[in-house]
Amino acid sequence: MKGRLLKLCVMVSGRGSNLDAIVRSIDEGKLNACVNVVISDRHDALALKRVEEWNAAGGKRIESFVIERSSFPGKDSFDDAIASILEEREVDLIVLAGFMRVLGAKFAARFAGKIINIHPSLLPSFPGLHAQRQALAYGTKISGCTVHFVDKTLDGGSIISQVAVPVLDGDTEDTLSERILKEEHRLLPETIQKLAANQIRFG
């Protein structure tokens, strides 16, 4: 496999299915990267249990941290706490995989070109929360998912890769979300590998 070994930080808030897809791709030899650290803004995130299980099973240990916004007096100090962890570990790429906090403009500038996000729509359509609900309300026939670089704008950074997913008659937010999520699990590791192999330039 060509490309340098990327040291990843994956940031999560929920169940961590995209984190699982990344780790699985690494284990299968499809992704030239290692997950060095996982950061969650929620202590009850299921993704942290996944990390515990992987560490208990042996292999390369993944550090995990819970950085809760309520523990800090302001947004800048919350962002700074995350940034300190990333800089101390010399992370190559920060992957927002279901991380439900908006990082500040100073944080985005500090790690410019080193942060990517996976979003469940074909950006620039339907940015922000509940993208699948937005797509259904609008009546679009095509939705999908996007990997993009993160900048100071909400879901507005440069687009790296996208996959289209049809919106079917009778779709609900749950059924559309599930079909998009399957594509996310393929697209995100593939995109990270293209960065590792220098097929895509870091932003």
Mean pLDDT to the nearest integer, 80-98: 97
pLDDT at 2 over 90: no
pLDDT at 45 over 70: yes
Catalytic residue among 119, 130, 148, 185: 119
Q: Pairing mode, if any, of strands 6-12 and 63-66?
A: unpaired
Residue matched to tokens 């008659």: 169
pLDDT band at 39; cut points 50, 70, 90? very high
Q: How high is the pLDDT of residue 76?
A: 96
In 10 A of CB 3, how many CB atoms? 16
- Average pLDDT, rounded, for the chain: 96
Q: How high is the pLDDT of residue 202?
A: 87
Give per-residue pLDDT as tens, 119-175.
999 999 999 999 999 999 999 999 999 999 999 999 999 999 999 999 999 999 999
Give per-residue pLDDT as tens, 185-201.
999 999 999 999 999 88
Q: How high is the pLDDT of residue 3?
A: 65
Q: Between vectors from CA 47 to CA 124 and to CA 91, what angle results, nearest 5°?
A: 70
Question: Rounded to whole angstroms, how far apart are CA atoms 103 and 90?
Answer: 19
- Segments making up each domain of the chain, as ranges: 6-196
Q: Examine the residue annotation and report whether 119 is marked as an active-site residue of this protein.
A: yes
DSSP string, 101-157: SPPPHHHHHHTTTSEEEEESS-TTSS-SS-HHHHHHHHT-SEEEEEEEE--SSTT-S
Q: How high is the pLDDT of residue 59?
A: 74
Give the Å distances, CA to CA, from 30 to 12, 17, 97, 141, 194.
22, 17, 18, 32, 11
Q: What does residue 195 show for φ and ψ, rounded to 5 degrees? A: -65, -45
* Fold for the domain defined by 6-196: Rossmann fold (3.40.50)
Question: Rounded to whole angstroms, how far apart are CA atoms 83 and 76?
Answer: 10
Contacts of 52 (CB under 8 A, 6+ apart): 64
Calculate the dihedral angle through the C-alpha atoms of 174, 180, 183, 187, rounding to the nearest 10 degrees: -130
Answer whether 145's CB lies under 8 Å from 165's CB: yes
Question: Rounded to whole angstroms, how far apart are CA atoms 78 and 59?
Answer: 31
